[in-house]
Structure 1
Amino acid sequence: MKIAIIVPMEIEAEYYRNNFHSGKKEMFGSTVFEHFSVNENDVYIGLSGIGKVQAAMNLASLLACQKIDQVFLTGSAGSMDPSVHKEDVILVNSFAYHDAHNTNAGDYVEGQVPGQPARFMLDSAQRADFAKYLVDNGVEFHEGLVVTGDSFISSQKQKEKIKHDFPDALGVEMEGAAFAQVARQFDVPFVALRAISDNGDESAEEDFDVFVKRVGAKAATLISDYIEKMK
């Protein structure tokens, strides 16, 4: 099986290198992917960069060249719900764009890009298997909607606007919906695990710097362990 693990930031990618060894590097498009053999699976670990365009471009470059069987996204997010706290993890079941406003352009809902679904649902058998792994190993996690946009959310005003449009959103970040859109176009199962680094308010910038390393390591440890145990 060929598995891709995508992370937005170098600080998040380094934790996978601590778990997987003896890899080689391959260039796909403008992105270097490190290629490892883990439990007889081919694992490609790539750094997408930050934001929707970087995310879509770099995942598409890989999927256009390799027949990938499953894509994992990991990394950090800001909390959008009082029940979701720093260092919690969200197993995403859907993504939407919080900065797509097309309701005046036709029969679209908030967050929907014309020609695309209102929400990108993550409901594959692979995701269900990963959820079972989390449950079986006693890992507490949230399940729900995470919203994506090209801005780092760091004020209560920004947060309240998003929450008004997406009252069920649990988290906010800058790449996930773009990854989900590309994975859908290529018909590749997509599993996303986001760990909370901040509350998406005025404390976000300070909290992000403190917690991003910690939550990046947490998410990487879970996915690395899962892949090492895959049959």
Structure 2
Amino acid sequence: MIKTGIIGAMEEEVNQLKAVMEAVNSKVKAGMEFLEGTLEGRPCVVVRSGIGKVNAAVCTQILIDDYQVDLVINTGVAGSLEAEINIGDMVISKDALQHDVDATGFGYEHGVIPRMETSVFKTEERLTALAVRVCEEVNPDIRVFSGRIVSGDQFISGREKKEWLTEKFHGLCTEMEGGAIAQAAHLNNTPFLIIRAISDKADDSAHMDYGAFEAKAIEHTVKLVRALIQVL
């Protein structure tokens, strides 16, 4: 039976999972509370990483080093980069990259991490397919997509930047943690899966959409995680 590390960026996500966990032990490290126990009868560790790539990467390394997790799942919300992906829909990672890596002054393309063999970190195909299937079963009221997730330490809320991200990286959505978690997992040869519920359109409507749709987005994500844990 595999042990899963579940990273949520927001307190609301973690609280909903914590409420249904059993045999919970709590430990604080690097300012993060790691909750170890069982979820749907499966061993897991649930933690809120906080916002941004550094928090997310540190959190991932602790899960791997201290808890020896076999899989890292990252949940959260994101801004859509594709017109067909609407608020409330779900995106499952096929791969992830960091759009704010910029070593173009040394001749590299945007998003390329110098001296690494890859800057695009892939989710195992079986995990992507499984998550899509489970999401369709437990969240029949929304649509689910699979593809690239692009990350950076920026909240994208302008049309110009959104268009640049879409043209340059062909991502389905943008957020602030997944790419860093993917890189940390890759460096440790640990499988990962990023789950993103769409809370805004990553343009100048973001400030209007976010608060209204966040709660529903988290609800769908938590429902997916609970069902997914049972079939891993």
TM-score normalised to structure 2 length: 0.90
Give how far 1:22 is off.
4.5
Relative distance call for 1:192 and 1:152 in structure 2 (3 A) is same
Give CA-to-partner distance per residue, 1:29-59, whole Å, 9 cap, x none: 4321111223542110000000011111121
Which consecutive residues of structure 1, in runs of 5 or more, have no partner in the other structure?
A: none
Give how far 1:192 is off.
1.1
Match of 1:157 among 160, 166, 171: 160
Give how far 1:215 is off.
0.2
Give CA-to-partner distance per residue, 1:158-195, whole Å, 9 cap, x none: 212222322x2110000000000000011111011100
Per the alignment, residue 41 of structure 1 pairs with: 42
Give how far 1:104 is off.
3.7
SS at structure 2 position matched to 1:23: strand
Alpha carbons 1:95, 1:120 under 8 Å: kept: yes
Alpha carbons 1:112, 1:118 under 8 Å: kept: yes
Give how far 1:136 is off.
5.5
Q: Distance in 2 between matches of 1:211 and 1:134?
A: 18
Alignment identity in percent?
29
Per the alignment, residue 86 of structure 1 pairs with: 87
Q: Distance in 1 between matches of 2:138 and 2:211?
A: 29
The number of aligned residues is: 228
Per the alignment, residue 59 of structure 2 pairs with: 58
Within the alignment, does 1:146 sit opposite 2:118 as a pair? no
Q: Distance in 1 between matches of 2:63 and 2:188?
A: 11
Alpha carbons 2:94, 2:122 under 8 Å: kept: yes
Alpha carbons 1:93, 1:145 under 8 Å: kept: yes
Deviates more, 1:130-139 or 1:72-81: 130-139
Deviates more, 1:6-15 or 1:131-140: 131-140
Give how far 1:129 is off.
3.2
Q: Distance in 1 between matches of 2:219 and 2:139?
A: 18
Q: What letter matches 1:112 in structure 2?
A: V
Q: What letter matches 1:98 in structure 2?
A: H
Per the alignment, residue 71 of structure 2 pairs with: 70
SS at structure 1 position matched to 2:172: strand
C-alpha RMSD over aligned residues: 1.9
Q: What letter matches 1:187 in structure 2?
A: N
Q: What letter matches 1:62 in structure 2?
A: L
Per the alignment, residue 7 of structure 2 pairs with: 6
Q: What letter matches 2:124 in structure 1?
A: D
Q: Distance in 2 between matches of 1:40 and 1:203?
A: 41
Q: What letter matches 1:194 in structure 2?
A: R
Give how far 1:120 is off.
1.0
Give how far 1:63 is off.
1.3
Alpha carbons 1:93, 1:123 under 8 Å: kept: yes
